[in-house]
């Protein structure tokens, strides 16, 4: 190799190490940026890079690393350094480590995941599940799953069931510790009575709007309610009447009596109980007053003995109130109730998607997506249906770590972990998703050949299978150009390509539909001596393409999913627009293709790599008459190229 080829090879290998597969755009971008003196030769260097990428992407990873070790060992040392950095202890574990040293909580670690059952969990919740469960496991502690079901207006049993399924699928084990806030309604009521008896809570007759007006602002002190100084006896009597259903919704509330001039607005006599004559999914019609989240949350943690109450950063301002409630109350023996420690971290913001439950509900209710498990959604149910594994999500959540700083994680990082996971677990199969018929004119009509191929390029334990070669095959329409552009190296009139695992063919004739002018089929010849050859053996052959024999093909519905939004931050809405205006019209394309016939007997949920196309899973919509595949992800990151083409 000359020095230019060495430089290109190094960039290709570096790209493979980082992303699993090298991309031409990334390699050429780095080459031109670091070596501007080579721009005059960009066209030729692009051809060299293309061939090198094709070769090295197809090479087993262990062989690639051997090559790197031999020629560019510094790349491996950089990779090790990156791994070392990711293993640094995060700030939450530093806090826990210090607590373990000092004996706080007697060396116990007890965490929880406390979802509200008012929607489906999304990828942001997976961060919290994996963090809380992971910490409990690391410290030989305990983990609870608890539903904060304090609002009967928005909560449904459907959401409870889906959340249980999702948390279990993610791999978290709560053992026998599945709880509901509603399990503690009696105790929460008793704690509220205790607060009233201490003179630290009162029943208020003001409306929600009146309370909001009197609360003040960050620059204006709040004003006391005219009902703030009711006697303890009157407050106890009114609170009991509230519980007994003697008042209408909104007629009265119970408020904590703290400080209407407090700089933290949440401390200005927050509402802790409201009247709601609604049936609760768990308690039925037993209660018509319900605790608000801020009151219930810390008390639930205390009741369960949670040591570290890990939540997202928006609750940082709530911590003062969380602590205040816990500090006011006593157990039956007059001792202070157990006081967990609240720790906040930045929630996950993922590009090209939305995480708001309200926005997700809008997408579902308006029919923009096909339900909560539509594979384009960021919900756990959607990732599961799309074919993403819990192991990939775990690697992603571990990989991005936790932070105190808000950030947007690029969607491609998640895709990297998905590809890395699927690369190892998915057997390879042949498929064409836009079939173009090819007749091998010099191949015998009645002849069939069985070709033995590996089910995985590196994992020999996955075994082998036989594919069929015959006179009529199908290739993907994208692998043929009647008038090929300069940088197109696949099949074209008079041009040769290698059929993967098989022969070299040459396009001799293009047959078109007489009425539409569309290409109907190709007539090609094959070289009988080329079966064991590679693209290197014939200078006319630049690349190999995938194919499928008519004798070994069955039809399949193939759903090509892509990112749901075109804009990196769909909530950054321009004037006069709505976030749904940034929906990607190509986020789902349904095509009819062919797959290998043995897949007719494969189970729903089975994953495969369609060679050169991507990773796919058999969808639950499959019937005996209609095999349905969802695309999990493409083999390489093609998103930036799609955006460029759209522009």
pLDDT digits (tens, 9 = 90+) for 241-296: 999 999 999 999 999 999 999 999 999 999 999 999 999 999 999 999 999 999 99
Containing 8, the helix (H) or strand (E) segment is helix 3-19
pLDDT digits (tens, 9 = 90+) for 164-185: 999 999 999 999 999 999 999 9
pLDDT digits (tens, 9 = 90+) for 537-556: 788 898 999 999 999 999 99
Q: Which residues pair with 308 in a beta bridge?
A: 341
Catalytic residue among 46, 357, 425, 551, which? 357
Confidence of residue 602 (pLDDT cuts 50, 70, 90): very high
Q: What is the CATH code for 427-646?
A: 2.40.240.10
Q: DSSP secondary structure string, 295-344?
A: HHHHHHHHHHT-SEEEEEGGGGGGHHHHHHHHHH-B-TTSPBPP--EEEE
Residue 530: left (phi > 0), alpha (psi -120 to 50), or beta? alpha
Q: Which residues pair with 523 in a beta bridge?
A: 439, 509
Q: Is 116 noted as a catalytic residue in this protein?
A: yes
Confidence of residue 644 (pLDDT cuts 50, 70, 90): low
Containing 86, the helix (H) or strand (E) segment is helix 73-86
Q: Edge to edge, what strands does the sheet with 496-499 contain? A: 544-545, 496-499, 504-512, 519-527, 435-440, 472-476, 548-549
User: What local confidence, expressed as pLDDT, does residue 310 receive?
Assistant: 98
Higher pLDDT, 10 or 70: 10
User: What local confidence, expressed as pLDDT, does residue 588 receive?
Assistant: 97
CA distances from 451 to 431, 455, 473, 479 (A): 16, 12, 14, 22
Task: Report how far Cα 403 is from the mean position of its chain's Cα atoms.
Answer: 18
CB 453 within 8 Å of CB 491:
no
pLDDT digits (tens, 9 = 90+) for 379-388: 999 999 999 9
Catalytic residue among 65, 200, 223, 347, which? 347
Q: Is 88 noted as a catalytic residue in this protein?
A: no
Catalytic residue among 79, 116, 449, 568, which? 116
Q: If you average pLDDT over residues 415-437, what whole number do you get?
A: 95
81: pLDDT strictly greater than 70: no
The half-sphere exposure of 191 on its side-chain side, counting CA atoms within 13 A, is 26
pLDDT digits (tens, 9 = 90+) for 476-493: 999 999 999 988 999 999
What are the residue ranges spanned by the domains of the chain? 3-86, 427-646
End-to-end CA gap in the chain:
38
Containing 352, the helix (H) or strand (E) segment is none
Confidence of residue 77 (pLDDT cuts 50, 70, 90): low
Helix (H, G, I), strand (E, B) or coil at 474: strand
Hunting for tokens 């590679």 — which residue is that? 534
Give the separation between CA 270 and CA 595, rounded to whole angstroms.
61
Q: Which residues pair with 330 in a beta bridge?
A: 336
78: pLDDT strictly greater than 60: no
Confidence of residue 643 (pLDDT cuts 50, 70, 90): low
623: pLDDT strictly greater than 70: yes
User: What local confidence, expressed as pLDDT, does residue 472 receive?
Assistant: 98
pLDDT digits (tens, 9 = 90+) for 307-353: 999 999 999 999 999 999 999 999 999 999 999 999 999 999 999 99
Q: Is 215 noted as a catalytic residue in this protein?
A: no
């Amino acid at each position: 190799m000359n020095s230019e080829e060495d430089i290109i090879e190094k960039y290709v290998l570096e790209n493979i190490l980082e992303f699993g597969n090298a991309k031409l755009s990334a390699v050429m971008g780095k080459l031109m940026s670091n070596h501007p003196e080579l721009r005059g030769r960009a066209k030729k260097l692009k051809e060299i890079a293309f061939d090198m990428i094709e070769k090295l992407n197809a090479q087993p990873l262990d062989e690639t690393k051997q090559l790197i070790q031999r020629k560019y060992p510094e790349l491996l040392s950089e990779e090790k350094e990156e791994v070392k950095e990711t293993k640094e202890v995060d700030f939450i574990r530093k806090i826990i480590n210090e607590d373990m040293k000092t004996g706080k909580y007697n060396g116990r670690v007890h965490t929880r995941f406390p979802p509200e059952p008012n929607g489906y969990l999304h990828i942001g919740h997976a961060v919290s599940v994996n963090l809380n469960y992971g910490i409990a496991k690391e410290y030989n502690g305990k983990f609870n799953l608890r539903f904060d079901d304090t609002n009967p207006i928005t909560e449904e049993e459907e959401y409870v069931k889906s959340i249980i399924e999702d948390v279990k699928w993610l791999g978290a084990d709560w053992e026998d510790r599945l709880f509901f806030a509603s399990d503690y309604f009696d105790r929460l009521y008793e704690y509220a009575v205790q607060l009233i008896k201490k003179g630290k809570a009162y029943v208020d007759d003001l409306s929600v709007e009146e309370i909001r007006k009197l609360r003040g602002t960050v620059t204006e002190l709040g004003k006391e309610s005219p009902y703030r100084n009711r006697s303890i006896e009157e407050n106890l009597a009114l609170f009991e009447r509230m519980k007994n259903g003697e008042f209408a919704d909104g007629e009265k509330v119970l408020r904590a009596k703290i400080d209407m001039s407090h700089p933290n607005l949440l401390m200005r006599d927050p509402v802790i109980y409201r009247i709601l004559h609604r049936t609760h999914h768990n308690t039925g019609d037993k209660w018509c007053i319900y605790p608000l989240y801020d009151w219930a949350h810390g008390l639930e943690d205390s009741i369960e003995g949670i040591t570290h109450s890990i939540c997202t950063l928006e609750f940082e301002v709530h911590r003062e109130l969380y602590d205040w409630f816990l500090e006011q109350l006593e157990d039956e023996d007059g001792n202070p109730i157990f006081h967990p420690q609240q720790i906040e971290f930045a929630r996950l913001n993922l590009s090209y998607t939305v995480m708001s439950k309200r926005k997700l509900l809008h997408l579902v209710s308006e029919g923009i997506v096909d339900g909560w498990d539509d594979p384009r959604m960021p919900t756990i149910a959607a990732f599961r249906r799309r074919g993403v594994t819990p192991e990939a999500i775990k690697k992603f959540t571990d990989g991005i770590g936790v932070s105190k700083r808000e950030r947007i994680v690029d969607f491609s990082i998640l895709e990297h972990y998905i590809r890395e996971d699927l690369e190892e677990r998915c057997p390879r199969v042949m498929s064409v998703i836009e079939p173009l018929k090819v007749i091998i004119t010099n191949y015998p009509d009645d002849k069939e050949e069985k070709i033995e191929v590996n089910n995985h390029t590196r994992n020999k334990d996955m075994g082998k299978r036989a594919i069929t070669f015959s006179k009529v095959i199908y290739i993907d329409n994208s692998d043929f150009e009647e008038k090929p552009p300069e940088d197109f190296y696949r099949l074209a009139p008079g041009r040769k390509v290698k059929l993967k695992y098989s022969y070299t063919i040459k396009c001799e004739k293009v047959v078109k539909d007489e009425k539409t002018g569309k290409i109907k089929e190709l007539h090609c010849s094959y070289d009988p001596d080329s079966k064991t050859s590679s693209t290197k053996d014939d200078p006319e052959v630049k690349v190999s393409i995938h194919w499928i024999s008519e004798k070994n093909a069955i039809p399949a519905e193939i759903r090509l999913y892509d990112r749901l939004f075109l804009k990196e931050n769909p909530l950054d809405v321009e004037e006069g627009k709505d976030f749904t205006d940034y929906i990607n019209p190509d986020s789902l394309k349904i095509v009819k293709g062919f797959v290998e016939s043995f897949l007719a007997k494969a189970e729903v949920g089975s994953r495969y790599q369609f060679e050169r196309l991507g990773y796919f899973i058999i969808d639950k919509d499959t019937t005996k008459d209609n095999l349905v595949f969802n695309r999990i992800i493409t083999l390489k990151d093609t998103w930036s190229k799609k955006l460029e083409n759209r522009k």
